[in-house]
Amino acid sequence: MLFLDTLRHFPETLAYRDQLVARLGLTGLINLTPDAAQLAARDASNLRWSYDPDGCCAIRKVAPLASALGGFDATITGRKAFQASTRTALPRFEPDTSDGAGRLKINPLAHWDANRLAAHMAAHDLPAHPLVAQGFPSIGCSPCTSRVAPGEDPRSGRWRGWDKTECGIHGPSEGPGPGYDPVF
Ligand code: SF4
């Protein structure tokens, strides 16, 4: 399991990571951090998020993950179609075109709705991220995550005010190709 530590997470996120590792007995967790030289050269002020969030995500998320995925044939994400209008066509399986490696991306929760998710978490006594109860249904780095009002997309609090909906690890879903069976 890979955890992208951008060094800009909420403290609650790091505590939640540790809580899940302990609760689920996870082994082999790898914490990925940005390259120190890249940070020093391109974001020494830690403020790149405020004027170039794409560049900040590239340094803190995309590059560290790309470096770590070389030995993998597939990745599994937790993305759900209901999270945002840009994810409504999210398929369960899609090619990962981020680096030309021919990797498969699997989204097993793509068609789960919020009720099914909540029921599953309750049935298996899975803790929620502590900030969910405080109005943050989708949580990324602290400078780029704001509270969401009732009726808004769950991800509308991410990069609010910017024309940006994804960090660069995932693009807006273009949906499945011909022949895709959504009830697979
Ligand atoms: S979410 Fe914000 S702080 Fe985090 S890497 Fe992207 S721009 Fe930087």
pLDDT in tens, 111-141: 999 999 999 999 999 999 999 999 999 999 9
Residue 154 has pLDDT above 60, yes or no: yes
pLDDT at 14: 98
For residue 149, being part of any structural domain is answered with: no
pLDDT at 182: 37
Domain count along the chain: 1
- Residue 56: CB within 6 Å of ligand 1? yes
Confidence tier at 73 by pLDDT (50, 70, 90): very high
Q: Considering only 40-49, 135-144, 152-161, 170-179, which range has the smallest mean pLDDT?
A: 170-179
Average pLDDT, the chain: 89
For residue 81, being part of any structural domain is answered with: yes
For residue 148, being part of any structural domain is answered with: no
Helices (H), 43-162: 48-51, 53-57, 63-68, 114-123
Domain that holds residue 116: 72-126
CA nearest to 90, candidates 105, 102, 72, 75: 105
Q: Which atom in ligand 1 lies closest to the alpha carbon of residue 8? A: 3
For residue 115, being part of any structural domain is answered with: yes
- Residue 34: CB within 6 Å of ligand 1? no
Distance, CA 53 to ligand 1 centroid (Å)? 6
For residue 180, being part of any structural domain is answered with: no
Distance, CA 54 to ligand 1 centroid (Å)? 8
pLDDT at 172: 62
Confidence tier at 181 by pLDDT (50, 70, 90): very low
For residue 67, being part of any structural domain is answered with: no
Amino acid in the structure at residue 62:
V
Q: Which atom in ligand 1 lies closest to the alpha carbon of residue 54? A: 7
For residue 51, being part of any structural domain is answered with: no
pLDDT at 179: 39
Q: Which helix (H) or strand (E) holds 16?
A: helix 11-24
- Select from 14, 43, 50, 144 the residue to mutate for testing ligand 1; criterion: most ligand atoms less than 8 Å from CB: 144
For residue 86, being part of any structural domain is answered with: yes
